[in-house]
Amino acid sequence: MKRYIVAVFVSVLALMPFIVGAQQSSPAPAVTQTGSTGLAAQKCLVVGTGLSATAQQTLTVPSSGGNNSIYFDYLLATLNTIAAPASSANVFSFTTTNIAGTPLFPVSLFGPIVSGGNVITAAGATGPLGIPIKAAVGTSPTVVGPAANGTYGQTIVACWHEAP
């Protein structure tokens, strides 16, 4: 039994340079967008009138083509008050197309908004998304602001990646 243990110990010591040599001595280089992770580079678009105009805004993401989908990683939708709203009890929504379930992102002007210069963020579209929102395969998704109104401008910011 002792001979067996000694033989195993000697064999392990003899193979140690090969075992240690097989380990990586430094971190691997960063994976590029064509690397094995399959993640594509992120792209972003911004549309908006800020605090200067009142036109309805539409953000249209180009189609991913083929069997890929657009995955929104970042979505920010805001109403930017230019003047005091006629009513602070209105609820407006940013709508979508070519996204499963056609989600809405509501914005409530309810509260003490008495003048211009306020930025009200839509619920669910406040910036970075914990779980990406997937568009339908091969389509061009859109995010559309509420109908034009004389008391607010609109801003829509989206960042996405393409993947199967």
Two tokens at 129? 């998304």
pLDDT of residue 83: 74
Residue 92: count other Cβ atoms within 10 Å of its Cβ: 19
Q: What percentage of residues in the chain have a pLDDT greater than 90? A: 43
pLDDT of residue 104: 94
Domain count, the chain: 1
Give the least confident one: 20-34, 63-77, 113-127, 139-153.
20-34
Answer positive or negative: Cα dihedral of 92, 58, 46, 81.
Answer: negative
Determine, yes or no, domain membership for 134.
Answer: yes
pLDDT of residue 28: 38
**Cα Rg, the chain, nearest whole Å:** 27
E strands, the chain, where?
43-48, 58-60, 69-81, 91-97, 105-108, 119-134, 142-144, 152-163
Determine, yes or no, domain membership for 36.
Answer: no
**Top-confidence residue, 92 or 58:** 58
Determine, yes or no, domain membership for 109.
Answer: yes
At position 125, the amino acid (one-letter code) is A
The predicted model gives 146-158 an average pLDDT of 88
**Top-confidence residue, 62 or 29:** 62
Q: What is the pLDDT of residues 49-76, one digit of tens each?
A: 766 677 899 999 999 888 999 999 999 9
Determine, yes or no, domain membership for 111.
Answer: yes
pLDDT of residue 51: 66
Residue 140: count other Cβ atoms within 10 Å of its Cβ: 15
Determine, yes or no, domain membership for 82.
Answer: yes
Determine, yes or no, domain membership for 22.
Answer: no
Question: 53 is in which domain, residue-wise?
Answer: 43-163
Determine, yes or no, domain membership for 14.
Answer: no
Instruction: Report the CATH number that the domain containing residue 136 is assigned in CATH.
Output: 2.60.120
Question: Is pLDDT above 60 for 7?
Answer: no
Highest mean pLDDT among 33-37, 83-87, 118-122: 118-122
